[in-house]
Chains A and B, each alone.
Chain A
Amino acid sequence: MSMSLRLLRDRIPGASTVLMLVVMLLLIAAVTEALGSTVLSRFAIRMFIDMTLVLGLQMFMGNSNILWFPHVGFMGIGAYASVIFSMSPLQKILSLPELYPFLADVNLPFLPALLAGALVAAAVAAVIGLPLMRLSDFPAVIAGFAMLIVIHAVLTHWEALTNGPQTLFGVERRTYVMNSAIWACVFVAVAYWFKESKSGLQLRASRDDLVSTSSIGVNIVAVRWFALVLSAFAAGIAGGLFAHFITSFSPKAFFLRETFIILAMLVIGGPATVTGAVLGTVIVTIVYQTLRWVENTLNIEQVFAQPIAGLTDITLAVMLIGMLILRPAGIFERREIGWQALRALWPWTGADAAPEPAADPQVVRKAAETKQRR
């Protein structure tokens, strides 16, 4: 088979994955728009924002297998930065009275402000994340956790830029169903492209066997760093979309609870695949919003003497633990949806048309991890 033919063959199933996911997301967006329900469109927007965030997390954590905490911190940076770029000078006097003069007059339209905010998040990640990229295992996790706390502390105390621990209000609503859906679609493509790119393959190889990858000359620090910057950019976009959707928020929105939710989405779907990130977000959103609705209804009807809280997170935690015990690689494990996967489901093609998964890299990874541990 010639080189170009092989490339074509390799690309088409990938294109089909991206295409299917994008069509699905746009369909969800279109149906939501057509129904015109405010409640439903709020769910959908929240889902697309979370999806952007989860896809960003997938790019770094899914490919490197490092449990990564600072992600929502970068979301927070993107949220505050985009607001500083987009808010009108008049509103800033009310909302951010202590803002530095050189920022007070900045007033960009939404899209440039969103991009600029995401660039700030990516730049911060690039600088403070770089030294962490050579860590692995526990030190990487704990340093990431420390970094989330540092970011959170700075967001909470840098009153000039964030209004401190108080709510920042007066942000204009700019995020709607369609533009949030489009951003989710963009990052479906970016995440897929990255996963299949040379860097993505190297990063995944490092996940499977760190030693042998660095011994064949892959600069793992550089590859990880690139993934981190991309992932923080996605988090920044998600943060900007979130800020211009919710319109008033405080640093609390970007801490451990949100981290838990996006981790649940990614892990339940399957961190190794883009399909897993997308459908994990969809599934968890449905479960989560349904339970929230139940919780709210119970509270409004005053079924219990006191308002109840925590039911949603308990269910999510149980789902997450159950998934890790029963199917630790998530629903989609290592398979992306695509023509081949669909053809396998198609009843008329017969069993022999089922795609033969290549040598299962998970076995190798498990073995490598077992080796490291005991």
Chain B
Amino acid sequence: MNEAIRFIVDVASLGSLYALMALGLVLVYGILRLVNFAYGELIMIAGYTLYLLSGSPLPWLVMAACAVVAALAASVLTERVAFRPVREKSLTAMLITSFAVSTLFQNAALLFISPRARLVPLPDLFSESIVIGGMLFFVRELLAIVVSISMLVLFTALLNRTVLGIALRAAADNFRMTRMLGVPANLVIGVAFAISGFLAGIVALFWLGRTASVMPGIGLEPLIVAFVATVLGGMQSLVGAVVGGYVLALMTVGINTFLPQALVDYRQAFTFSLVILILLFRPEGLVRGK
């Protein structure tokens, strides 16, 4: 019983983060058909912002807010500087641009900070644990669940209740028609990148919280996670992305818990073979419908 609860909490905390990551990726993809390879670097940028602020007397929450804003700003800035000029040209040009932006950010961190891992400041709360019903839980894990789910609720409200949110959903469905109704393309895309960056920033706090450090290559794993979750969810649908995030977490925790170590080594190979199979046989994702 206890093990079952532990398993569920693990899946829920990991899955919440995965869901947010997938959401940030699919939001931009839905509108632009751009897979943003630089998405993982937003997490890296949030991490380095924390690192750079670590000597300051600011309270942690302020540092965290700065980190989230930095990720958001980087996301909006890359859209403005790199993606907007190639947007009308071709899909391939846009994809290569995002790959180049990813390389650019990584190497900037390499050049201006260090190739080695740097510690990021974390609140004490993150390393504490509490006992509920005789079971030990990490506060960080529970916090990840609470924060992620509040984000999802907030995000849903935004998409359903505000004009801008409705415009975003409409643009993801039919960009051209949305523009013909007077919704400026740059506005929708800008907002999508801003939300995407914001989500990456929030994710970063918990993602980095696991190792308490940041290094130039840290963005690859979250990027890969977001890719897989997105494909599982069908790439088009925001709900699908969230479901995909939780399904992937279930698979990951399941593999780590139940498979022998020798096979865990090949986890990535298995996961990605699955991705290819899904793309081939169920391109609309494991979960049908919007």
Q: A137-B33, A142-B231 are in contact. Are A317 and B90 (CB under 8 A)?
A: no
Can you report 17 residue pairs joining A to B where beta carbons are below 8 Å apart? A65-B92, A67-B96, A137-B91, A141-B35, A142-B275, A154-B269, A256-B220, A260-B99, A306-B114, A308-B111, A310-B108, A318-B104, A320-B100, A321-B97, A328-B90, A328-B93, A365-B90
Complex: A28 Cα to B108 Cα, angstroms? 34
- Any A CB within 8 A of the CB of B57: no
Complex: A374 Cα to B185 Cα, angstroms? 11
Contact A317 B100 (CB under 8 A): yes
Among all A-B residue pairs, the 3 with the closest Cβ atoms: A310-B107, A310-B110, A310-B111
Q: Chain B, interface size: which category?
A: 35 or more
Complex: A316 Cα to B216 Cα, angstroms? 17
Q: A135-B280, A324-B86 are in contact. Are A67 and B107 (CB under 8 A)?
A: no
Most buried by B among A321, A372, A374: A321
Contact A314 B279 (CB under 8 A): no
Complex: A309 Cα to B29 Cα, angstroms? 32
* Identity of the chain B residue whose Cβ is nearest the Cβ of A136 in the assembled complex: B91
Complex: A135 Cα to B276 Cα, angstroms? 11
B91-146 at interface with A (beta carbon < 8 Å)? 91-93, 95-97, 99-101, 103-104, 106-111, 114-115
Q: Which residues of A contact B216 (CB under 8 A)?
A: 310
- Any A CB within 8 A of the CB of B155: no
- Any A CB within 8 A of the CB of B82: yes
Q: Chain A, interface size: which category?
A: 35 or more
- Any A CB within 8 A of the CB of B224: yes
Given contacts A149-B224, A369-B91, 15 further A-B contacts (CB under 8 A): A132-B280, A138-B33, A139-B279, A146-B275, A149-B268, A153-B266, A157-B266, A309-B115, A310-B216, A318-B104, A321-B82, A321-B104, A324-B86, A324-B100, A366-B89
- Any A CB within 8 A of the CB of B227: yes
Contact B111 A309 (CB under 8 A): yes
Contact A374 B176 (CB under 8 A): yes
Contact B266 A67 (CB under 8 A): no
Complex: A370 Cα to B33 Cα, angstroms? 12
Q: A142-B227, A309-B111, A328-B89 are in contact. Are A135 and B272 (CB under 8 A)?
A: no
A15-50 at interface with B (beta carbon < 8 Å)? none
Q: Which residues of A contact B227 (CB under 8 A)?
A: 142, 145-146
Q: Which residues of B contact A267 (CB under 8 A)?
A: 96
Complex: A147 Cα to B110 Cα, angstroms? 27
